[in-house]
Every structure is written in structure tokens, then in C-alpha cells.
Structure 1
Amino acid sequence: MRQKSLFVQLYLVLTLLLIPAAGIYEGLCYFAANQKNIEISSAAQDLVKTRNDLILHADETAFWLNRLTRCFVLAATPEDFARSLIEFTQKYDVEVEFATYSRDGKLVSENVSSAPEIRKKWLEAGKFLQTVLYTKNSYQRYEAMDSLRPLFGQHFFIPEGNHTDAFLAGNLYQSDFKKDQFRYWVAGNGQLMVVVRMPTRELLKKTGFRHFAKAFSSDKISFARFTDAHNRSKNADKNSTSARAAFYRLEETPGREFIEIDNHLFSRVKISASTWILIACQIRSDDIRYGYLVVSGLLLLLFCFLGLRHSGYFSGGFENLSLLIQICVLMTISAGIPLAILGSVAINYFSNKKTALIRERNQQMVQFALQIDRNMQIEHARYTRLIRQSVSTLPEAFRKKITPEAAVALFKEKLAPVYANVQIISTKVPGNRSASYRVLASDMHPGDQDIVEYLGKQHLAALNAISAEEMPAEKAYMLESIFQKSIDMIVHDLLVAEGNMTEAGWGKRTVTIFAQAFKVLTAEYFDHYIFISIVSSVLQENYIAQHLHGAIRNPWGFTFYVARDRNFINEQKSLELFPEINQLFMRTADFPLPEPEILDYQGEKHLFVGLKGNMVGNFKFCVLYPVARIDREISKEARELLYPAVLGGTIVLFMILILHLNLLMPVNRLHQAARALENRDASFRLPESKGDEFAEMATIFNASIAEFEELQIASIVQKRLLPGKPLHVKGFSIFGKCLPMVELGGDYFDYFPVDDDSFVLLLGDVAGHGVGASLLMAMA
């Protein structure tokens, strides 16, 4: 028995503690490993957003442009603008002068010098400012600009805006290149006009950084400042050891964006020519090993239980508990622990799912923006096809002596409205291989025509393998300045791109060109060369206009914005009129970010991708996607998993109900039957049924209890045979009582009087007990 009890205890310890502990340990280890990856990804996203915010605030000019634009757009009256600007400048101790005017040029509010002659100039500046802001391509505009220069500076100039109903300066303009004491910002709309004059020294106060530091709030993110290697001194670096190690390791691998050291994720951003900011985001510490903690806790619980039992607090074993408690404990362990593990794994799964969906959507957004940019090649191919169709008609046209004007008109008609100009050159290469050239048709400016003519001669000479005509130095310099490469490289690139459209030039002088040589009148050498230039900006604008509607109504639900320079293409209005969207375009980058960026937009968290165009020049793309949609996808999947969970719970409840009806209730009835037997209640009956052992036990019990009832009746009869009252005779008091071992026995006694002085006492005992003995006693 002792060996059996020891085996039972070992079995219970194994099944109730060790196996569940091992399961919990493995589950929590899996959970912890994946949770670390999720936290690193989340920390990387926080670092990307913080890094971009730092970049925006590091550029003092961009910061003030954004702040002034925001104050202006949100102001309904000149007084509103003055109030908001004064509050901000006083908050950060910045000296800024401003003047606000009504639309008709009347000075409404200002904080400029109180000197009478200066104030008089500010009063008169309103009417000139009105002309500068709302007049385009007019001589009066330049006269008004000259009238403002005595007040603002000898080099004061404001470029024309894109719209006549509103103007927002896109820069802080210098007004005196020599002294450079002030920077100016101007704006105007239907209600007010604004001039802001900021001393140049105020731009050195790093107001953007101070604003960022005051508005930034995070317990997980910290910063450290570093300088470039050639600006460092031995005692300058007072940062922590882990920060220095992270910065130098990032410096050694420039292509690396993040590095993890001591439960911190680091990234760096350059804020000036020689200054870096290292950003650190804390990750949850791994000092607590949850798997070991759970196993140790369970073993400690086992030790405490055995100690208490040994000391006598728990005298009984698990098998001595009630059946209901035993079943509850076993069900809790067998179902509760696996469900707890599955629950933790499910939580981890949905966390991984969200991270994966964020990365997937971010990649789709990047590809969406890149595809719009790359599809510019399709537009190039379309115009290339039109050019080749026109070129295919040239041989026959040349044989028919087509006029130069007709040749130019042929291309102009096909390529409208993006057409710029064309030049067609013919050449003859006689046997001595000394070529002669002639311009057949051209509508280029004479200065550009000479440059393109020399370029065509170099192109034809290279194809015909003859010596090229020497190019004048000034022409070569012009070509090299436009293309930013040597003449040989220019010709090489044109030969490689021959027959296709390609970008040439740089900055505002970028043009899209098509160059190709043909064998028109002879098959021995290339005798004609065509050079066509197309206005790149118009080509790109037409492409964006054609595809913008389809991009906005994309099937993925992305919010798509496009801007070029300071023009918001979606609304065809100035970008500064939309401060929140303007903030988005300020975050655009040349290349996709290494981690998804999540920011607040219109009161919700959005995934954000901002890219500058490559094929489409100065266009910028912003793509947004609400994070709430990803949360809804996960919630939908969680709800779909809820039905199997409810089904599983229903099955468990059904199993408990079956156990209750088919095990606990029959056992409880048997317990009641045992109590009835103990109380000698012969009227108790168990409900009879069929099909299991409990039904058979009920039948046997009911039959036994019926026999017991008959024995009780026989016992009553036997008791009636015995005297029921005591006998009082002179000198004696006689009474008797019979207590058989079972219901019936063979014991008998009787007493009765004979006369007043005598009585009879009878005693008898039949060997044995039970029904037989009682019958013999009755017959006697």
C-alpha cells in the first residue's frame, strides 16, 4: 500500500506540476523571443519618426517657414495672426518684427520701430505690397518692388506666385546680400497681407530644436550629441559608454541604420555640417526569464505543499478530496494550462500579425509611389513611338524636297503640347572621308542651334567612324555646363540612348531629348541626324494629370497626394494653404525609409511614405494608410477565431455537464442511499434506468432495500412476541429488552404472574441469528 501511495504521489506530481511547467516554459520562451522582435521593430519605427522630426526642426529656415505658414493659414484676421505670432515668439524669446495689412493695403497691426519716419514707410508699404503679391507679369510689380527696397533692403525681391488670389513665400528672403541683417517672409490672401522681418542672428538660436525639445515627451527615447571625427577633442565626448560604442559602430558602417546594445536600439541623424544626434530607444529588459520563473514557482509551490502536508496541516491526500473537487482540479490543469499557453501564443501571433501587416502595407505603399514614378518611362515610350512614326515619313519627304517649315510642323503637330523644338542635320561623306554638314530644318534659338549642330556633327562622325570637326572652346564649355560631363561622355551617352527619350541637363535646364541618325538617301553611311527637345516639365505635368485620378482612386485605399515645388497638384492650389499636408511633404525623402513610419494625421495614426520623384523630376509623392484599418483586419481575424473558441468552450461545458449527469449525480445518489442505510430508512429508493453500471447498482440497491424493509416488518412482529411492559410482583420489579445483532435473531424472553406471590420467567436462545433463528424461536 505504501508503494502504491508513493506511485500515486509521483504520478500526480508529474502530471499536475512538471509536465504543465515544461509546457508553460516552452510557451513563454517562444512568446518572449517573438516579443523581443516585435519590440525592436516598434522601437525602430519610433526612431524613424523621431529622426525625421529632428531633421525638420534642425533646418531653422524650414521650421520658421512652417511656423509662419501655420500662423497665417489659421488666422482669420490680421489681429489673429499678430496674436499667435507674438505668443510663439515670447514663448521662445525670439525677436521678430511684423506688420499686418488689410487686403486694400491699410496697416492693421505691427511691432516695428516707433520712429516716425520708419513708421511712415511701413504705413505706405501696404499699397506697394498689394501690387507685388497680386500682380503678375506687370511693369507695375517691379516698380512697387523698387518702392519697397528703401524700407526692406536694396536687394529685396519676391518671386511671382503660382496663383493671383493668394501668395505664400516659400523662403526667408535676403534683402541685402552684403550686410545680411534681416530675412523677410511675406504672405497674402483675401483677408490680410503679412510682412515678417526676422534678424539673421535669431536664426542662430535654434528655435526649432527648442520647440522640439519642449513638445517631445517619451520615457523610452533619449538623445546624445556627437561631432565629426576631425572636430572632436579628447575631453569633448561625455556621453555614456554604450552611446559612444553605438555611435562609433554606426560610423564604421555608414549603410547601417540601427544597432542594438544593452537593450537599447540606436540610430543617428546629421543635423548640421559637423554635428550628429544619436537617438536611443529603450527596449524591455531581458533580466527576468519568465520560463525559469514559472518553473521555479511551481517547484516552490510543490515544496511548500509537501512541507505543510508533512507537518500535519494537510492530513489527507489528493485522492481523499471530494470527487467534485478532484474533477475541477483535473479539468483546470488539463484544460486551463493549455488554454493559457494558447492564449499567450495567440496574443503573440496577433502582435506579429500587426507588425507583418504594417511592413506589408508599407512595402505596398513604397511600390505604389515608385511605380507611379517609373511609369514615366511608359510616357516616354509613347512619345518615342510618335517620334518614330514621324521619322519614318522623312525619307520619302526628303526625296520630295520637303520644306524645312513642313518638316518642323510634322513633329510639332505630333508632339503637341510638350513639343519644344527640333533640328535636322544632313551630311555627305565622299570617298576621302571628309564630311560636309548642313542644317535642313530647325526652329531652335540661334544660340542653341549652334550648340546642337556641333553635337550632331560629333554624333554622326562617331557613327560613320570619321574624324570629328573640332568644336570651338566656348561651345564645348556650354555643352559641358549643361550636361555636367565631358564632350566625349555626352556623345557616348547619346549613342547609348539613341532612338529613345532621355533626360539631359540639370536643375531648371533639364530637358527631355530624342536623338537618332538615319540612312535616308544612301545605305553606305548615316546621312541624316534628328535632334528633338521636349519640355520636361510639361511632359511630367501631363503625365501626372492623366494618372492622378486613377492613383487617388487606387484599389488599396491609400490616400495619395502629389506636389511640385510649392504647388499642391491635388487641389491646384498653393501647398502652404494646407499646413498639415505641407508638413507631410516636408518629410519626403529621396529613398524609402528602412522602417515603416507612423505619424498622426487628421487625428489618427497613419502609415506614411513620402518620396521624391526620380523620373518625374521635382514632383513629390505622399502616401498614407490608416493604422486603424490594420487593427480592424486583426480584430476581424480575432473574431473569426472567437467562434472556434466558443465552440471549444461549449464542448468543455458539455463534457462537464455529461460528467455531472452521468458520474457526479449517480455517485451523489449512491451517497444518499448509503446515508439511508445508515439511518435504516427502508423507504429510500434509487431511480432505476438502463445502460450503465450505475443503473445496475440502483437495481441491486432497490432489491436489497426491499428485503431490508421485509426484515424490518419481521423484526416488528418478533418484538411484538416479547413482553412490552414491566412486571411488578411483591418484592420484584421485572423488565426486559432484546437487542439482536441483526434485524432478526433467536433470542426470546417472557414473564407473567401466576398468583400474587409467584411469577414465571422464560429465557430462550436459538443458536445463530437471522431469519432461521427467528422462525425457530417463534415456533417454540
Structure 2
Amino acid sequence: MKMIDTDRSRCVANWLKFAFFAVAVPLLVAWQAFVYLEKLHAESALRRYQIAAADILENLRVSADAHLYICSLMNQTFQSAKNPGQLQKDLEQLRSSSGINFEYMIWDKNGSVHSADFDWRSTGSDMKYAWQTLLGIGRRKIEVADARATANLRKIFGPQFFPELYQRCYSGRNIRLIFSDSSLKKKLAWIRTRPRMGLATFFEHDIVKGLPGLKFFMSVVARSSDMRLGAVKDGVWLGEGSADFSTAELAVISGSYENPIRVRDWYVFKNALRTDLCGFCYIDAASIERLVISTRARCGIMLFLVLALYVLWRSFRVICCGSSINLNIRRQLIILFVLSNAVSLLIMALVGYDYLGQYRLYLQAESFSKGVTYLQNIDEMFVSEYSRQLRRVRKALDKLEQRVTNHRPDRSNIAEFLQAQSGEPFRLFLIGSSTPYIGSELGIMKDGKFIEEINMDWARYKSMQTLVDSMGKLGQYYLAVLNRKSISEMMVAQVELIAESLGQLRPHEMFQEFFAATGSFWQWGMGFRYFPAYIDLFRDPDSGLANYVFLYLWNAHQLHRHYIDQLITDFNRNPLGIKVMAVDEDFRYANPPELLDHQQLRLYSAKLRERSGAEVDFCDWEGEKHLLMGLKCSSIDTIRLIGLYPISAIDREVSRKKQLFVALAIVSILVSLAMGLFVARSILLPLAELQRGIVALQKRDFAFRLADLGGDEFGNLAKVFNTTLVDLEELQVASTVQEKLSDNMSEPAQTGQVKWFAASISQYNFSGDYLAVEQLTDQRVMIVIGDVAGSGIGVSLILAYVKACILKLNRLYDQPEKLLVRLDTLLRELSSRAGRKCMTMQCALLDCRKSEVTVANAGHCFPVTIDPVDGDANVADMPSTPLGTGRKTVCCLKTFSLKPGGSLILYSGGLYRNSETGFSDFINDLVKNRSHCPKAWYDEVIAAVKGRVGAADCRDDMTMAVISCFDKPVESESIV
């Protein structure tokens, strides 16, 4: 009973070991994989929410600026409306949803009031005239409103309303509501017009003191997103509902430099909205850190657990209860290999998943970096635009200088110069030192009046007239200074006033700039703006005095737009696949124009006013998701460049990597399956081969051989089995082979005076000795004696081969030496050097008519002659090498003349190796047992050897041929 308990405990211990390694370890790995996936998901989700939070907080920053928020909201509503009726409907809906109180007035395409929610007639203003004035200024048909138009508009908007600046409520760097009444009687206004309609909205002054946009935006986000918004102003919580953080936690969040920051169960993203206002965007940490498991994944987990339980139950039944598995070895091994590789495949899948995620982030960062670099290159390439403009200016300037050398500036030569330029010119001034004519892009002026028109701006005729006249005085003063001519005090005073008003510089400072920049580009400040400019002098070739000063200015906005419009198509043909867009800082220009209608891109462009886009962002464009990048340009500083890189290109690269991983996984599974099949085959095939061998053994088929089963246990077992079969077969085959190979004579043969006998005795029926006796003619006989090293069936096969060769070489029977040499060649060709068998051989050719024996020896035992007088034995020294040894066999050829009564003995080594004392005993036996009958002599010698050492102890074969010569010839006898 104790033994049974011990066996059971051992079985349970083995089962527990199996359960630990086969079930517990994979479950632990799977659990760690789940934890790892959850961590990766959390990191990925945190990045996504961080990008989304940055966008939300940027919008919250815009909404925190009441002026900017209200102006943007009104502009968006106005832009999206297609007609006055829709605009009225959208305004009513906006007022009810946002909670912002305002009054509005809508003009139709004729300038009539389409609708208004206040008594607009009480203002006493001509509304149609007001709309025409605003539309003319907006479309740049009117530069400055006259007094009547200004007074009409001030009745509506306030006494400090300037019509020329109303566009600042929806474009420009500092977008603000229009404040035009210091007494606060008139409300704040927002105005915009276009040819088919116009809008004017009015707001109370208190609206900019609160945070209407902030509260409205928070409510919108609360309804449409799982993220929560809030803000802190002076330690007070502003947000939907009560604060989710304590006062101390809010202080920690506000003072922390981390972003995001983890506070209890929340991830908090923050951004400074204003100097006194900090915005928060936070989300439950569980929604980021918790891995959402799909239904398919849950089914996979359940299947994995069920499989683990089944393995536990089945293994317990097999190991502890002794039940069998009804699966063949092949299937068991395949299942073993597949399950053993499941863990490695799982780890490979995790590594691949992590790699693909990191690879996606790398591609995003790399594409973003390359895109920003490409946008910077576009910005820096603007230098080439300056060079191109400079070449055009200088080329045309040479012709202009020739024209005005002997002729005053007129419309034709100025117009010809302008036509040679690229892009729309902004300002041109050609001022002479001794001529009252001033050339400009507007026309030719004389004595303060235009006498010839070129590109006259009639909307600003008076201001342009003043500008050209002022620049004429400034140029004449500059030429007088250069030519050292006298200058009137009146001109000095006028020039000082002009220089101060144009460039906020004193005359000599401005002239110093002119002199330093002569013949090159420079940025000239005129008013509150800077313009790319080029200045040069026309000098008299004889006197060297300056006759004309030439000043050419470009409008930076127009030059930058011209550069973008001209090359935008080439910019979009880039190897990176980036779509390049451009927008100016005032949102009046965009290429393509659809950019201005894209809300997200407008907001992103607004960020670029302050800094370049340094963070990865995304947007949808034309129904496809793109990676968003932007640049605040330095060379084309009025333009913001935006680049869009399609996410589909990144997805394709990631998909290629994913396909590679899937292919590797499939290859791994196939390799595992192939290894399982290979191992199963390496076990099953040897077993099948051994089973076939057993069947052959039962049928006494000793010729059957097992295939080579390798160097493992099966291979060793097969070798033992084959060795046994070889031994059994050799015992069966050796006697048959021996009988066929040896030409044993039963009786002696005699021709003339010569009588001979040859026979061989095999001790184990697989002799290594060879004997062949061939009657060539009545008078000639060939006797061949040989000995192959070793024993067994292999030796018998060599003897059979030699027998076949001798039969084939019958033409060489009468040439013993050549016969041995040819046999040596054939033995060498039979096998390689490592497996080659060597063989000693003697070939004796008997010439019975002459009583001569010619012997060719190849390493065999030396022949022994018996003296016919005294009967002594003499050993004939015939040194040579065996067949199949060395580089070439050395044969020894000798002819023996037999005298009557003499004999020649040919023998194999077994006759003296079996003797007790060796060769001396064998010689003594030859002499002692001499007989006139060769057969009797042979029998006596064999009997003497066996009698001396015992027949059972004779290990080697014994072969001997006796050739004797008699006194007188006898009748020929055939070989028996």
C-alpha cells in the first residue's frame, strides 16, 4: 500500500510540473502581455487626448478673449450664410444657443435693410448710402470716406467711428469690436459687407468684461466630448457645474510645470488663456488607462482559458489516472511544436504591435520634420525672387537711363519700364535735379499736378498727388545734397517735415539710408510699414553729377502673393508628397482660397501669427486625414505656410511593415509545423524501418538491409541490426560464393613430363583465398593463387570481381605479368583509396612441353622449389608489392625449369600462419611429406598442419598448388 501511495505522489508531482510549465507559464505570459498592451494603449490614448486637448484649449483661449471670440463667431456666421434670409436665421439660432445678447441689421444686395431687430430708422441715417460707403471701402474703391459719408455712418455707430478702419473687426493682427463712442452711448459694433449683403451687429459694453465665449464653449464641449473643461481666475473655478478639484489641487495644477499632470483619478491638460486666466482640460484616467476589449478579443480569451482547463484535465487523466491519448505520435508531436511556439508567437506579436506603434510615431515625426524643413526651404527660396526682380529692374533701368538722358520722363518710357517688371508695382519715383517733371507709376507730375496718366488711382487721387509731390521735393533735396548745390530754407523745412512723417527720421539719416542702399535691395520704412525697395542714381557721364534719383518700391503683400501664386504648383510637385498652402496674416489671401473656409485651418493659421507649428497636429482636408504642419515665415513674413501630408501614406508604410510581421508569423508557424513533421518523421520512419527488418528476419530474408537512420539511437540500433543480418547472410552466402570462386581440383592432372594439383580449404566458408586453374592448350596451363586481406562477404565480393576480371582478360593468360598489372588497375578503379582492398597474387604459366613454369608474383608468398637430388626445399626470392597498394604495383617475373624429380610449390600464407612455429614448420612439412602424387603430397601437408595445431584452431584459409616433373612423358590428362 505504501508503494502505491508513493507512485501516486510521484505522478501528482509530475503532473504539477507539467501544469506549471505547460499552462501556468503561458497564462502568466498572456497576462503580462495583456498588461503590456494596456500600457501601450494608455500611452497611445494619452498622446491622442493630448493633441485633442491642445486644440480644445487653443479654442478655449480664443473664446476667453471676448473681442476675438465674438468677432470670430460673427465672421463665421456671416461667411457661412448664402443669403440674407439664411443669415437672419443663423443669427437668431446663434443668439439662443450662445446666450450672447446682441442686435443686428442685415442689408440686401440693393443696400436696403432686409431685416433688423431694433428701430434702425431712429438713427436718422441713410442706410443704403451707409452700405454703399462701407462696401466701397471694403472693396478698395474708396480710400477715405468724405465728410458726408462719414457723418452718415457716425449716426449709426458713434461719433468716433472711422469708416476706413472698420475691417479690423474681422481681419488683421488685432481683431477687436468697433468702439466708436467714448461716452458709451453707442454700442460696440461688428460690421462686414459683401456685394450681395451686409451685416452690422451691436453689443453692450459689459459683454467684453465677462467671459461669454468661455462659458458657451465649455457648454458645447461638455455636450459633444468626453473631456471636461474648466478655468481658474484669481483662484475661482469657472466651468460647468462644481469643481472636481479642491482649492489645494487647483493650486498644485496651476503651479506645476508638467503637462499633463495626474491628479487623483484625472489626467489634467492645461494652458494659460490670459495672464489672469488658466484653462484646464481633464479626463477620467480610467478612460485612458483601461484597455477596451472587443467582443472578438473576449471570445479569444475565453477560448484560451477553456483550452488551458482542457489541457489541465486531460494531462491529469493521462499522468495521474493512466488513460491513454488516442492520437498517433505524428499528431502529438505537431501539437507539441505548435503549442510550444504559441508563447514565442505571442511575444513576437506584442513586439510587433509595439514596433508598429513606435514606427507610426517615427514616421509622423519624420514627415513633420521633413515637411517643416521643406516649408523653410520655400521661405528661404524667396531670396531668388528678390534676385529675379533685381535683374528685371536693372535691365529695364539701363534703357530708362538712356531714354531720359536727352529727354524728360514721359508716359512712354515709364510705362515701358513698368511693363518689363514682374508683378504689380507699388511705388515708382523718378526725380530729376534740373527738370520739374516727376515720373511715377501713377503718371507724370509737373508743378504738383499730373499732366500724364499711367496707372492713376482715382479713389485716392488727392493723397497720391500729395505723396508724389512730397517725394519729388525729397528727391530734389537729396540730389542737391549729392551735387553740393544750394538749398532754400523753405525746401529744408519742407523736407524735414516730409522725412519725419514718412520715415520718422531726420533728413540726413534718411539720406544716409539712401546712399548706403544705392544699387541694391533694402527694407524702407514708410509710415508704419516696411517695403522692399531699390534706389539708384543716374549720373552725367561728363560731369559725374547726379541727374536723377530712381526709387522703386514693392508692396510686400503683393510681392509675397505673387511669389506664392507663381510657384505654388511647383511647390506641390515635391517628392515628399506634401500639399503646400499659404495664407496671409490678415486672412485676406489664401492659396487655395478654400483654406479660408476651413475652420480648423483658420484656427491653426491664427496660431502661426505668434509662432511656427512645433507640435504634431492633424486635420481633415477633402475627406482625408492629413498631418498638419505650419511655418511662420521670416523671408515672406506676411505669409504663413501650411503643409498637409496624407496619413494614408503613413498607413501604407505601417501596413507594409505589418504585412512583413504577419508573413514572418506565418513562416514561423509553417517552420514549427515543418519541424514537427520532420521530428515526427525522424521518429516514425526509423520505427517503420525496424518493423520491416523484423518482418524480414522472420521470413529468413538475410539479404534485407535497413537504411541509414543517422547517428542517433535509431541509427545505432539499425547498425546493430544490419550487422546481425550481415553475419547471418554471410554464413549463408559465403559457402555458395566460395564454391563458385575456387577451382579446386579433385584429382591431379598431367601433360607430358609435368603433373600438377591445386586445391583450397576455407575455414569459415567465406574464404579470402583465391584459386583459379585454366587449361589454355594441351601443353599450357595457367594457375592463379591469391589472397584478399580480411574476411566476410565483402572479401567474397572482391574475389568474385577478380574472378570476373580474369575471365574477361583471357587474352592475357599467356602474359602473367601484364595480367597482374591489369588486375591492379581494375582493383584501383573499384573503390576509393580509403575503402580499397589489397590482394596478393601469383600467376603461374606451365609450359608442359618445355617443363618450364613462368611465375609472376604480386606480393604473394615466395614459391618453393624441391631439389630432385637431395630433396631440399629452396625458397625463390621474388620481392614485389600486392595489388591495389602504393602508387603502382611492382611485379616480379621469374621462370623455373623443372628437372625430372623436381617440384614447384605455390601456396597461401594460411599454411604457415596456422602452424605452431610458422614458416619453418611449413617447409619441414613440405620436405617431410614429399610424394610422387601431387594430390597425396597436398593432403599430407594439410593433415600435418591441422594435426599440429588442431583443426578447430585453424583460422586462415589454406591453398596450395603442387607442380612436379617426371623422367618420361605420360599420356595427357585433363584437369579434374
Write the mapping of 1:333-412 to structure 2, written as runs, cut at 5 A: 334-389=340-395, 412=418
2:208 to 195, 200, 203: 203
Q: Which residue in 2 is equivalent to 1:131? A: 132
Q: Deviations over 1:62-84 (max 9, x none)?
A: 32233223333444554433333
Contact 1:106 1:126 in 2 (8 A): yes
**Cα distance, 1:380 vs. partner?**
0.8
For 1:366 and 1:29, the matched residues in 2 are separated by 37
Q: Deviations over 1:160-197 (max 9, x none)?
A: 999xxxx9998643343442642333445576543322
What is the RMSD of the two structures over their aligned residues, measured on CA atoms?
6.1
Q: How many residues align?
A: 625
Q: Deviations over 1:422-468 (max 9, x none)?
A: 45799xxxxxxxxxx9999875723234556677899999xxxxxxx
With 265-274 and 75-84 compared, the bigger mean Cα shift is at 265-274
For 1:148 and 1:265, the matched residues in 2 are separated by 52
Q: Deviations over 1:501-531 (max 9, x none)?
A: 2223277632112246899869999999765
Q: Which residue in 2 is equivalent to 1:756? A: none
1:538 to 558, 563, 566: 558
Write the mapping of 1:212-291 to structure 2, written as runs, cut at 5 A: 212-216=217-221, 225=232, 244=251, 247-248=254-255, 250=257, 269-277=271-279
Residue 561 (1) aligns with residue 581 (2):
yes
**Cα distance, 1:351 vs. partner?**
0.8
With 272-281 and 336-345 compared, the bigger mean Cα shift is at 272-281
Contact 2:479 2:548 in 1 (8 A): no
Contact 2:221 2:227 in 1 (8 A): no
Q: Which residue in 2 is equivalent to 1:684? A: none
Q: Which residue in 1 is equivalent to 2:532? A: 512
Change (3 A) 1:159 1:440: closer
Residue 62 (1) aligns with residue 55 (2):
no
For 2:269 and 2:476, the matched residues in 1 are separated by 53
Q: Deviations over 1:270-292 (max 9, x none)?
A: 4335434366688899999xxxx
Write the mapping of 1:756-771 to structure 2, written as runs, cut at 5 A: none
For 2:78 and 2:401, the matched residues in 1 are separated by 61
Q: Which residue in 2 is equivalent to 1:445? A: 468
TM-score (ref. length: structure 1): 0.61
Change (3 A) 1:70 1:572: closer
1:620 to 632, 635, 640: 640
Change (3 A) 1:227 1:598: farther
Write the mapping of 1:277-356 to structure 2, written as runs, cut at 5 A: 277=279, 316=320, 327=333, 330-331=336-337, 334-356=340-362
Aligned residue identity for 2:427: A
Write the mapping of 1:34-183 to structure 2, written as runs, cut at 5 A: 42=48, 44-105=50-111, 107-112=113-118, 118=119, 120-121=121-122, 127-128=128-129, 130-132=131-133, 134-135=135-136, 137=141, 146-156=151-161, 158-159=163-164, 172-179=177-184, 181-183=186-188
Contact 1:460 1:526 in 2 (8 A): yes
For 1:567 and 1:605, the matched residues in 2 are separated by 26
Contact 2:101 2:203 in 1 (8 A): yes
Contact 1:38 1:352 in 2 (8 A): no
Change (3 A) 1:203 1:646: same
Aligned residue identity for 2:591: N
Q: Which residue in 1 is equivalent to 2:726? A: none
With 9-18 and 95-104 compared, the bigger mean Cα shift is at 9-18
**Cα distance, 1:347 vs. partner?**
0.8
Residue 570 (1) aligns with residue 591 (2):
yes
Contact 1:49 1:599 in 2 (8 A): no
Change (3 A) 1:576 1:63: farther
RCO comparison, higher one (Cα < 8 Å, 6+): 1
Contact 1:503 1:510 in 2 (8 A): yes
Point out where structure 1 has 5 or more consecutive residues left out of the alignment: 113-117, 229-237, 251-256, 289-300, 427-436, 462-468, 675-687, 701-780
Change (3 A) 1:590 1:70: closer
With 608-617 and 262-271 compared, the bigger mean Cα shift is at 262-271
Change (3 A) 1:515 1:96: same
For 1:528 and 1:107, the matched residues in 2 are separated by 55
For 2:437 and 2:116, the matched residues in 1 are separated by 64
2:428 to 416, 421, 443: 421
With 592-601 and 238-247 compared, the bigger mean Cα shift is at 238-247
Change (3 A) 1:381 1:75: closer
Contact 2:537 2:549 in 1 (8 A): yes
- Bigger Cα Rg: 2
Secondary structure class of the residue paired with 2:274: coil
Residue 650 (1) aligns with residue 664 (2):
no
For 1:37 and 1:492, the matched residues in 2 are separated by 61
Secondary structure class of the residue paired with 1:205: coil
For 2:49 and 2:642, the matched residues in 1 are separated by 23
For 1:160 and 1:597, the matched residues in 2 are separated by 35
**Cα distance, 1:86 vs. partner?**
2.1
For 2:503 and 2:477, the matched residues in 1 are separated by 14
For 2:539 and 2:268, the matched residues in 1 are separated by 62
Change (3 A) 1:282 1:527: farther
Q: Which residue in 2 is equivalent to 1:729? A: none
Contact 1:40 1:283 in 2 (8 A): no
Q: Which residue in 1 is equivalent to 2:618? A: 598
For 2:689 and 2:14, the matched residues in 1 are separated by 28
Point out where structure 2 has 5 or more consecutive residues left out of the alignment: 1-5, 236-244, 291-304, 441-466, 695-704, 722-976
TM-score (ref. length: structure 2): 0.51
2:520 to 500, 514, 528: 500
